[in-house]
Amino acid sequence: AQSVTQPDIHITVSEGASLELRCNYSYGATPYLFWYVQSPGQGLQLLLKYFSGDTLVQGIKGFEAEFKRSQSSFNLRKPSVHWSDAAEYFCAVGARSNDYKLSFGAGTTVTVRA
């Protein structure tokens, strides 16, 4: 079965600074990888996804993520954060062999300071 680890529980970053959120997955074959964002009191919104092809994927709100098979990682990045990026970020993995069920990481809380 697949699993996801987000090593950072909480990250604080200054507005305008860069942000990188780590995600490591465990799965034997190529997984389907996702990053979701959850603003306070809201549901989850998809930022980006990776299935195959170019390992650097662009998403909404200026986010990008890079799939590195050798490191089993799918880290999320943003060059310059805005105060509105303060939220909970979830990495998720799905696999055809597991009926495409999504397994979510525990999430990383991002706080943006002025």
Supply the minimum distance, in Å, between the C-beta of residue 31 and other proteins. Answer: 8
Supply the minimum distance, in Å, between the C-beta of residue 101 and other proteins. Answer: 6
Q: Which is nearer to other proteins, 36 or 74 (CB)?
A: 36
Q: Which is nearer to other proteins, 13 or 44 (CB)?
A: 44
Query: Residues with Cβ < 8 Å from 34, sequence gap 6 or more?
Result: 46, 48, 49, 50, 91, 92, 93, 94, 102
Q: Which is nearer to other proteins, 89 or 112 (CB)?
A: 89
What are the residues facing 50 on neighbouring strands? 33
Residues within the interface to other proteins (CB under 8 A): 32, 34, 36, 38, 41-46, 49, 51, 88, 90, 93-96, 98-102, 104, 106-107
Supply the minimum distance, in Å, between the C-beta of residue 16 and other proteins. Answer: 27
Supply the minimum distance, in Å, between the C-beta of residue 33 and other proteins. Answer: 10
- How many residues are there in the chain? 114
